[in-house]
Structure 1
Amino acid sequence: MAGRLVIVGAGQAGFALAAKLRALKDERPITILGSETSLPYQRPPLSKKYLLGEMTFDRLLFRPESWFADNNVEIRLSAWVEEIDRTAKTVRLQDGERVEYETLALATGATPRRLPEAIGGELAGVFTVRDKDDCDRLAEAMTPGRRLLVIGGGYIGLEAAAVARKLGLEVTVIEMADRILKRVAAKETADIMRAVHESHGVTIREETGLHRLIGEGGRVTAAELSDGSNLPVDLVVVGIGVTPNDRAAAEAGLAVANGIVVDAFCRTSDPSIFAMGDCAVFPWQGEEIRLESVQNAVDQAEAAAAVMAGGETAYDPKPWFWSDQYDVKLQIAGFNRGYDETLLRPGQREGASSVWYFREGRLIAVDAINDAKAYVTGKKMLESGINPDKAALADPASDLKTLLG
């Protein structure tokens, strides 16, 4: 039997690694060290159905507590790893305890960026959204009629805005760039999503940043914006991206570059240490990338499990993402980084459309807005290496299935 595997991180990637090893009949002892107080759980519904009160927390758990004992997986909660000692092959916890490993897996995830204290980031009523505790605090504050400012027009900010409007809050979104979704989607997708939010009563102010938050008695009461205006607010959600949790790895001398650098087999610069999920930077199609998605967390963890169990197959992801906002489902296949051309295709029913991304004439991604057929077809094209005829693709009367060849 192989020696102990210690998994740092009890999120999607950490749990998927342990579960896949057991599915592969790997019997090595496994210890999962999780910083939260809860058993591993799904994060995507947390900021949507859970925050809306439509789903109880127990339904978010991957497995009941009994699963861990039944599968010889030790799960330790409220366990923070302060240091990795690669020579002794131990990790030191916040209470000084050292846990020995033969193989170490870093599934440490990422942390939301916060506002500096100098501009009001420490005021009560200012929130980031990442875990159960964040959502519990935000749910308590989200009462109808209150005024919410969302800082950041990416997916996290827009999803928070959608939930808040459903709960009856007045919502303003500010985005420093000239449009929402600037870093992650084409203008066509941004235009569609902006119209959706405005139709639900959200005010979106682009090319508008935050100068500072103003508070009374330690609680936020207003926001001074970059255009000089003052906006009265009762609470603020900050959605300005995340930082990969790579501190312990860097201090241990592992290669890091805005994340923990791994090879195609999920190994770090130390062959006995693996990394996966939001914290990992890996090679893909000639680039070094870091994907923040459930799909990548699960698939990369399962690829690492196969390597640990004796395989030697490189991780070659087929990226996909999704975002639910109101009654709109945005499904994304592929990775649009570096696109130089887009094509907007109307869907076959009202409210459906898709945006197709090309780089040097080749299809690299598709955004499907309430258009499952476009998503499924685009995903198949990307996985099969099919490059569709653009004229046929642009014609809404053409049958997408015929473009599969």
Structure 2
Amino acid sequence: METAAPFVIVGGGLAGAKAAETLRAEGFDGRIVLVGAEPEVPYERPPLSKGYLLGTATRESARVHEPAWFDEQHVELRTGVRATGLDAGAHRLQLESGEVLDYARLLLAVGSSARRLPVPGADLGGVRYLRTFADADGLRADLEGGGRRVVIVGAGWIGLEVAAAARHHGNEVTVLEPQPTPLHAALGQEMGAVFAELHRAHGVDLFTDTTVRELRGSGGRATAVVTDRHAGLAADLVVIGVGATPNVGLAAGAGLEVDNGVVTDHSLRTSAPDVFAAGDVASSWSALLGRHLRVEHWANALHGGPAAARSMLGQDVVHDRVPYFFTDQYELGMEYSGLAAPGATVVCRGKPGSGPFLAFWTEDGRVTAGMSVDIWDQTDHIQALIRSRTRVQAARLADPGTPLELLVGPGSAP
């Protein structure tokens, strides 16, 4: 008797593991094969730049499931195996081992890769990126013990979280950023300045409006960073955090539609029959925003994997969540929802830099994004406010005596 082709998941991260979990939870009893390029049981990435790098979280705490779970749920886990080719017409996946997997339906959850710094000397020893557990292991070993001169290129989320961890371990830290403030693209000038002040208060030398020109070294290792403002900043270690690029090679090679990620509809279906995409690699249609959107944050993988699994099962799925991310840096904890456009008006409830506060980005009186700093249990209210598209007076947004839930109009279910 011929065995039915399996559901295959390519990608051993959070999205892929949650998709496998959801397939079983929804009653699917066929074969599931999960292929991961890393030699690791699927894990979540946020701890790599937070607790694990700080030394306050264990390796095991980042796992999505214990190793035994995959056997218990009859999920065939193939770690350390890279998918090298996809024939969407024939429903076949080629692995680097030479094995060919026929599939009934396939999920691309292959994530993204750290963007490389395109300057001379970037291939020297002592230059690190942070994307995988192997990266985190090497970087943690470098930072522990302190006393090193660490230069970080890029003041985005990864760069700033690495800076906080490096200072925690007692290192001298310099951060270089070409934009006017840290997190400028995500938060804008005013809120980016909050994070600039935070890091400077913790002893970080932060240089904004600064472009790296070259890395120089001795004995094959980086020893200095040259910028348009510095002849050479001394460095024992250089960490690059200049963004990520979606891993679209497999999809592009198979002729799937690719545009800043693998293009999907609202149900996470790609342009090829029976092929789906979720997580960092997916550029999915958002009715909320009226365009395709690719989100690289934890929550998108957490919810996108299950949504894709249900779509693979033929369920009527609309994956259209409000983008969400969080960060922990020093004593500051922050949650952000939505997507603010450049030039949006910022309204604050509380004084930034002087304790807990909320910030709202508004366009035409409507909240498009919101951020809570050291204030918890407000995310659901902020997301409901974004979804409702209710026009709100700035004075009411700023008033701490007005509960956010009272500002929400109809049609705001999360």
> Does TM, scored on the shorter chain, surpass 0.5?
yes
1:253 positional shift: 0.4
The match for 1:14 among 13, 16, 25 is: 16
Structure 1 CA distance for aligned equivalents of residues 323 and 244 of structure 2: 19
Q: Aligned ranges for residues 325-404 of structure 1 at < 5 Å?
A: 325-337=329-341, 340-346=344-350, 351-372=355-376, 374-404=378-408
Query: Equivalents in 2 of 1:91, 1:60: separation in Å?
Result: 28
Give me the whole-angstrom Cα distance separating, in 2, the residues matched to 1:402 and 1:250.
47
Deviations 1:47-106 (A, max 9, x none): 211112212112221212221111111000111011111233211111222111111110
Deviations, residues 365-393 of structure 1 (Å, cap 9, x unaligned): 10111122554432332244444331122
Q: Deviations over 1:272-292 (max 9, x none)?
A: 100110000111121111011
Bigger Cα displacement from structure 2, 3-12 vs 368-377: 368-377
Partner Cα separation in structure 1 for residue 139 and residue 155 of structure 2: 19
Task: Confirm whether residue 250 of structure 1 aligns to residue 257 of structure 2.
Answer: no
- Secondary structure, in 3 states, of the residue corresponding to 2:185? coil
C-alpha contact 1:368 1:375 (8 A) present in aligned 2 = yes
Q: Summarize the alignment of residues 55-74 of structure 1 with structure 2, pairs less than 5 Å apart.
A: 55-74=57-76
Residues in 2 aligned to 1:59 and 1:368: alpha-carbon distance in whole angstroms: 26
Q: Is the 8 A contact 1:245 1:279 kept in 2?
A: yes
Structure-2 residue corresponding to 1:90: 92
Q: Which deviates more from structure 2 when the two are superposed, residues 366-375 or residues 143-152? A: 366-375
Residue 321 (structure 2) pairs with residue 320 (structure 1): no
Provide the C-alpha distance between the structure 2 equivalents of 1:44 and 1:366, rounded to a whole number of angstroms.
21
The amino acid across from 2:33 in the alignment is: T
**TM-score, normalised on structure 1?**
0.95
* Matched ranges for 1:94-173 at <5 A: 94-116=96-118, 119-142=120-143, 143-173=145-175
- Are 1:310 and 2:314 an aligned pair? yes
Counterpart of 1:24, as a letter, is: E
2:53 corresponds in structure 1 to 51
Deviation at 1:115, TM superposition (A): 2.1
- In 2, distance between residues paired with 1:348 and 1:53? 29
Q: Distance in 2 between matches of 1:318 and 1:302?
A: 16
Q: Distance in 1 between matches of 2:100 and 2:30?
A: 19
Report deviation, 1:402: 4.1
The more displaced of 71-80 and 180-189 is 180-189
Distance (whole Å) between structure 2 residues aligned to residue 258 and residue 402 of structure 1: 38
SS in 1 for 2:21: helix
Q: Closer, same or farther in 2 for the Cα pair 1:2/1:351, shift >3 Å? A: farther
- 3-state SS of the aligned residue for 1:391? helix
CA RMSD of aligned residues (A): 1.9
Change (3 A) 1:347 1:383: farther
Q: Distance in 2 between matches of 1:128 and 1:206?
A: 20
Question: C-alpha separation between the residues in 2 aligned to 1:348 and 1:287?
Answer: 32
Unmatched runs of 5 consecutive residues or more in structure 2: 410-414
Letter in 1 for 2:373: I
Q: Which runs of 5+ in 1 are unaligned?
A: none
Please tell me whether the aligned partners of residues 176 and 210 of structure 2 are also in contact (alpha carbons under 8 angstroms). Answer: yes
Aligned-partner SS, 1:50: helix
* Cα offset, 1:228, TM superposition: 3.9
Q: Could you tell me which residue of structure 2 aligns to residue 240 of structure 1?
A: 242
Partner of 2:412: none
Question: Which amino acid counterpart does residue 306 of structure 1 have in structure 2?
Answer: R
Q: What SS does structure 2 have at the residue aligned with 1:212?
A: strand
Normalised to the residue count of structure 2, the TM-score between the two structures is 0.93
The range that moved more, 264-273 or 388-397, is 388-397
CA distance in 2, matches of 1:237, 1:266: 34
Provide the aligned length of Structure 1 versus Structure 2.
404
The CA deviation at 1:197 is 0.7
